[in-house]
Structure 1
Amino acid sequence: MSLSKNSIACPLDCYDTCEALYENGLIKGNKNHRVTNGKLCINFANLQNENFLKTAYYENKEITLEESLNILVEKLKNTKPENTLFYKGAGNLGIMQSITKIFFASYGSVLTKGSLCDEIGGYGLAKGRGKLVNPPIENLINSDVIIVWGRNFSVSSPHMYNLVKDKTFITIDPIKTDIAKKSSLHLQLNPKTDHELALLLTRFAYMEDMEDEEFIKNNSNNVEDFFDLAKEKPLLSYEKTTGISLTDITKFFELIKNKKVAILIGLGVQKYYEGAQIIRTIDSFAAYIGVHNKDYGGVWYLDESAAGYEKQIVSKPKKKIPLPEVDFSQFDLVFIQGANPVVSAPNTKRIVEGLKNSFVVYFGTTLNDTAKYANLIIPASNFLTKGDVRLSYGHNLKAVSNAVIEKEEGTISEYELASFLTKEFSFENLKAEEEILNYYKNTVPNKSHKMETFKFIEELEIENLYENKEENQYYFITAKRKRNLNSQFESDDKAYFNPSSGLKEKEMVKLFTDYGEAIFEVALSEDVKENCILTYAGNKKANYLTPFKKDEVADSATLQEVLVTIDIS
């Protein structure tokens, strides 16, 4: 971490959390930040080329910032608080971005809970470990073999990948991703069978005498129940359902035996109704072979980035609703901050119809797809013009951002907006901005990844997609790509099929699920498993197909809990 006055932190929603230096109008990667290591990734480079908002709008007409704030206050004062919704996205993950929650919670707005992204898996891991803290980056560097499970590591974490690119990699993924092509072994499993593969690997680990008896003895007392779970099915039945041959399982163990093993778990693994159970089964396999509580290896997911800190921004909403189930039409006023639900949220048709039936306030730095449906647009100051601290969910470092240029006169920061509204409504004053920032800058968190107890998963209640899949249906997969980040920057709206599908390149096809339909241009790729359809994150049509149903425990989205059919009529 740098305390240089010209340091800036990338605010984007990705694992690496880069820190850079602003010098003579140029942004350069900070060489003193272990992960950034002096280099900028394509996403940080793209961010510099964004056309940041400089003007407020009301009903598609330019207005001043002052006018926009007055309209917002008037609307809030003439709307019942319980009929308003505060909806925040992850367009900027700096600490200060949450300060607006304090006002809207005090005002009485409905807030959201859950996630479109990661909370299902986080819940599952915490259920077994008691907490969610990644090992330090040094543990990854000290590993011999890195198992990448449902995460395109070299694309989504290019800086972290550069630190360990000479390691031996094993990839587990339905798609032949960039990291799969760099791996010594690729297990191209069927979607939503990760829990079965973890149980199969546990069976082989037992046969290879690879269980970590010391960890199990010191940290858990229910391993026998977990192993009984792994023995419930014959080995050959696992081979059939997962699509992974026992020969490849043997190769897997040849690569990891007597090695220091790290496991990187991605988001695709848990985008299902029972995603918490699935990811917990993977973590139980990891515990069985002893990757936890060491000075090398471990399991990485999306860390609880604020672990070890005392929360400085506390909001107390009266009501929260699950994020994937939000119906914008149920609210008279919707305030959307740094989010693009028209592209990112499940069931796009429902999202758009809801926005059309509410007064929408959009607060952000750029005009995105959601801003098109806004009645009032308030421009947020961009990341170069305001102080912030970015805590990482990918590693144990943080990045500090300073205001290195003057902000545009027609823009307002999150803290300034929250402070303005707080005064207008005579609420309790906010904690000073510098006090909040200095706390995070100067605090070294007690953030140990070591766990005192571990509880293996003992039972599974999972409805397998393969049990309901018809021969003409496909599994639905979403993945990261290099040239965009979620719904930001360049989009790719194609649907990718294996050439064995019989479809033609650039052919237009209608795809439908139980939840919706959309027309896609076909792209063919050998990288896609024969029974899958791949769309990349940010595809503007993909969420027409997805369910707005939450998962079983974490109020989060289940974007891959669907089977897709091609309309050939």
Structure 2
Amino acid sequence: MNSNNKVACPLDCYDACQAEKLQDGTIKGSKEHKTTDGKLCVKFANLLKEEKLEKSYFQNEEISLETGLSILVDKLKNTTPSKTLFYKGSGNLGVMQSAPKKFFSLYGSSLTRGSLCDGGGGVGIEQGRQNVVNPPLEKLINADVIVVWGRNFSVTSPHLYNLVKDKTFVTIDPICTPIAKKSKIHMQINPKTDYELALLFTRFVNMQDLEDKDFIEEYGNNADWFFDITRNRPVVSYEATTGVPLSQVNDFIDLIENKSVAFVIGLGVQKYFEGASIMRCIDSFAAYIGVHKKDAGGVWYLSNSSYGYEKQFEVKGTNKKVSIPKIDFNSYELVFIQGANPVISHPNTKKVIEGLKNPFVVYFGTTYNDTCEYADLIIPSSSFLSKKDVRLSYGHELKAISEVVEEKNPQTISEYELTNYLLEKFSFEKLKDEDEIISYYINHKPKVEEFETFEFLDELDIEPLYKEKTSENFYLITAKNKNSLNSQFANDDFVYLHSSSNFKEEDEVLISSKYGSAKFIVKIDDNIKDNCAFFYAGNKNVNYLTPNDEDESSFSAMYQEVLVEIELS
């Protein structure tokens, strides 16, 4: 073990903290890392307490790591490569975690495409400005007003929030979140009407002659066509569909006039079939008021953290790629799952569970999760504390470095080690030296090209959910929990409803959609919009209700394209 002490948080969240292990064995937030600033959040603390997977298992019997690896090699050598699937999750977001994909690419496995998370929104931004890269952190810090759109900023980004907590906030969210309660304006919008609100904002800006004419003239393309979309219906009609009073819209426009504005956008706005168009509409409004190309402000979403880096494990092959939300696990003979928990996080849980009963399932990860119940072979990955890595953030441009700060359990194996082991067994060329790969990411500073033309949204075809909604059903929405991260750590399997729903605290209810049904216990919370059924991400039953289908643009999941019915069980 070396004497270095840096630790990068591997968790799937915006802040990408860096910690350091002190001589007394405790782990504290790094003061040299600007966003962490010496403090660790509750999720990192939970990660340090998480029980690690330290043994291999085959058909529920404990085995040695050596035996487990031999079984894996034997199964791979006796399976047609095209009948295998490599399925990687986001349990660890360090750059070295991508190594196994190189082996499975060379071997000939089917790979996934699309996203269970941010794909639609990313495509929407890319259609407007060619890449999905967040502005420098300083532009957020220097903004006058921060618009938090579909993101519980103080919970999902506590470190970033701490840098800007004294700013003026506006929140747009169906839930009265902690950041909404701290905001000057909270617009409690109806789900899947975010694009309508963006159009309404644009209309008000134009009426008050507040558009950024210089930006539009120099960089804009189709701005007039975008504005024409906003004129297709009366202004007053937006109030009923979005649930946002026109008086609030007017207050908002007054608030941002002559101010530098930052938009911090969450995933909820794009969890729909037309998620890319919804995000592009929001980004087009932001461009219409000229937030891009300024010294302060901009649009922050979930950036492509690897943009400008050469992929160290990339293989340009002919592997079949399957849309991740539409995966039929049952159609494969072997499924290799790395750092993922599809039994909880994948849409349409019933189909996932049925699908995992047929193939030989290999789980490779650091903790025992719900998916392990369906695994034939379990191989433990080494703890993030005992392997080198670099974490590139999708929330800002800073890097976090991981060095080896504790001795590795010899019955575990790192992603780099496993990949080289498999490459050798199948006579493929081994990876570059680990230190060379790590050094590249530490020392390389990507050059981010500024867009030269902003392509405004010029046509819009979105089918709103409110056309199908009746007074008897509810919009399904989800959000992150303060004390957990998706299916990691604490579980919260309740459904949260407004008191006007006519259900009572602790009622057992059956919730149904066209895709399935499940039972839940009710919690009453008047922070929830009265037409919504709210669930925390990681709820073990919520994905019985969601569609295993893809959006229109990015092969990605659309969890919230759902209306549900609720009855007493």
Please give the range of the TM-score, normalised by the shorter of the 2 chains.
Answer: over 0.9
Alignment partner, residue 470 of structure 2: 470
How far, CA to CA, are the matches of 1:397 and 1:364 in structure 2? 26
1:117-156 Cα deviation digits (max 9, x unpaired)? 0011000000000111110110000001000000000000
Alignment of 1:107-506 (within 5 A): 107-317=107-317, 318-448=319-449, 450-506=450-506
How far, CA to CA, are the matches of 2:553 and 2:262 in structure 1? 27
Question: Structure 2 length normalisation: TM-score?
Answer: 0.98
Contact preservation (8 Å) 1:85, 1:334: yes
- 2:13 corresponds to 1:22: no
Contact preservation (8 Å) 2:35, 2:159: yes
Per the alignment, in what secondary structure is the counterpart of residue 454 of structure 2? Answer: coil
Alignment partner, residue 13 of structure 1: 12
Per the alignment, in what secondary structure is the counterpart of residue 455 of structure 2? Answer: coil
Per the alignment, in what secondary structure is the counterpart of residue 547 of structure 2? Answer: coil
Contact preservation (8 Å) 1:102, 1:316: no
Alignment partner, residue 520 of structure 2: 520
Contact preservation (8 Å) 2:518, 2:545: yes
Query: 1:567 deviation in Å?
Result: 3.2
How far, CA to CA, are the matches of 1:259 and 1:4 in structure 2? 48
Q: Give the aligned residue type for 1:516.
A: G
Per the alignment, in what secondary structure is the counterpart of residue 478 of structure 2? Answer: strand
Query: 1:471 deviation in Å?
Result: 1.7
Query: 1:316 deviation in Å?
Result: 3.3
Query: 1:26 deviation in Å?
Result: 1.1
Q: Give the aligned residue type for 1:19.
A: Q
- 2:70 corresponds to 1:33: no
1:369-413 Cα deviation digits (max 9, x unpaired)? 101111100000010000000000000101110111110010000
Q: Give the aligned residue type for 1:559.
A: Y
Query: 1:172 deviation in Å?
Result: 0.2
1:475-507 Cα deviation digits (max 9, x unpaired)? 000001101011100010000000000101010
Q: Give the aligned residue type for 2:336.
A: F
4-13 or 320-329, larger mean C-alpha shift: 4-13
Q: Give the aligned residue type for 1:50.
A: E
Contact preservation (8 Å) 2:512, 2:566: yes
Contact preservation (8 Å) 1:57, 1:377: yes
Q: Give the aligned residue type for 2:279.
A: I
Q: Give the aligned residue type for 1:558.
A: M
Per the alignment, in what secondary structure is the counterpart of residue 235 of structure 1? Answer: coil
Query: Unaligned regions of 5+ residues in structure 1, if any?
Result: none
Per the alignment, in what secondary structure is the counterpart of residue 75 of structure 2? Answer: helix
How far, CA to CA, are the matches of 2:404 and 2:230 in structure 1? 54
Q: Give the aligned residue type for 1:258.
A: N
Moved over 4 A (4+): none
Per the alignment, in what secondary structure is the counterpart of residue 69 of structure 2? Answer: helix
Per the alignment, in what secondary structure is the counterpart of residue 511 of structure 1? Answer: strand
Q: Give the aligned residue type for 1:200.
A: L
Contact preservation (8 Å) 1:225, 1:458: yes
- 2:61 corresponds to 1:61: yes
Query: 1:435 deviation in Å?
Result: 1.1
How far, CA to CA, are the matches of 1:455 and 1:345 in structure 2? 33
How far, CA to CA, are the matches of 2:503 and 2:396 in structure 1? 42
Contact preservation (8 Å) 2:8, 2:17: yes
Q: Give the aligned residue type for 1:567.
A: E
Q: Give the aligned residue type for 1:354.
A: G
Contact preservation (8 Å) 1:475, 1:533: yes
Alignment partner, residue 104 of structure 2: 104
How far, CA to CA, are the matches of 1:45 and 1:536 in structure 2? 20
1:181-208 Cα deviation digits (max 9, x unpaired)? 1101100010000000000000011122
Query: 1:4 deviation in Å?
Result: 9.3
Contact preservation (8 Å) 1:305, 1:393: yes
Q: Give the aligned residue type for 1:468.
A: E
Query: 1:313 deviation in Å?
Result: 1.6
Per the alignment, in what secondary structure is the counterpart of residue 233 of structure 1? Answer: coil
Query: 1:429 deviation in Å?
Result: 1.8
Contact preservation (8 Å) 1:106, 1:316: no
How far, CA to CA, are the matches of 1:568 and 1:526 in structure 2? 20
Contact preservation (8 Å) 2:273, 2:561: yes
Q: CA RMSD in A?
A: 1.1
How far, CA to CA, are the matches of 2:147 and 2:309 in structure 1? 30
Q: Give the aligned residue type for 1:180.
A: A
How far, CA to CA, are the matches of 1:231 and 1:508 in structure 2? 46
Query: 1:310 deviation in Å?
Result: 1.9
Query: 1:442 deviation in Å?
Result: 0.8
How far, CA to CA, are the matches of 2:363 and 2:74 in structure 1? 16
How far, CA to CA, are the matches of 1:94 and 1:113 in structure 2? 19
Per the alignment, in what secondary structure is the counterpart of residue 225 of structure 1? Answer: helix
Query: 1:221 deviation in Å?
Result: 3.0
Per the alignment, in what secondary structure is the counterpart of residue 349 of structure 1? Answer: helix
Question: Structure 1 length normalisation: TM-score?
Answer: 0.98
Contact preservation (8 Å) 1:486, 1:538: yes
Query: Unaligned regions of 5+ residues in structure 2, if any?
Result: none
How far, CA to CA, are the matches of 2:122 and 2:55 in structure 1? 39
Contact preservation (8 Å) 2:3, 2:405: no
1:95-121 Cα deviation digits (max 9, x unpaired)? 000100010011111010000000110
Contact preservation (8 Å) 1:511, 1:519: yes
1:342-385 Cα deviation digits (max 9, x unpaired)? 00000000000111111110000000010111110000001000
Query: 1:214 deviation in Å?
Result: 0.7
1:245-285 Cα deviation digits (max 9, x unpaired)? 11111111121111110000100000000000000000000
Q: Give the aligned residue type for 1:143.
A: A
Q: Give the aligned residue type for 1:43.
A: K
Contact preservation (8 Å) 2:508, 2:568: no
1:521-569 Cα deviation digits (max 9, x unpaired)? 0000110001000000110000000000000010000000010011357
- 2:551 corresponds to 1:565: no
How far, CA to CA, are the matches of 1:470 and 1:357 in structure 2? 39
Alignment partner, residue 549 of structure 1: 549
Contact preservation (8 Å) 1:293, 1:451: no
Alignment partner, residue 79 of structure 1: 79
How far, CA to CA, are the matches of 1:5 and 1:93 in structure 2? 21
1:314-352 Cα deviation digits (max 9, x unpaired)? 033511100001111111110000000000000000000
Per the alignment, in what secondary structure is the counterpart of residue 552 of structure 1? Answer: coil
Q: Give the aligned residue type for 1:344.
A: S
Q: Give the aligned residue type for 1:38.
A: G
Q: Give the aligned residue type for 1:12.
A: L
How far, CA to CA, are the matches of 2:77 and 2:451 in structure 1? 49
How far, CA to CA, are the matches of 2:179 and 2:221 in structure 1? 36
How far, CA to CA, are the matches of 2:315 and 2:464 in structure 1? 39
Per the alignment, in what secondary structure is the counterpart of residue 529 of structure 1? Answer: coil
How far, CA to CA, are the matches of 1:319 and 1:293 in structure 2? 40
Identity %: 60
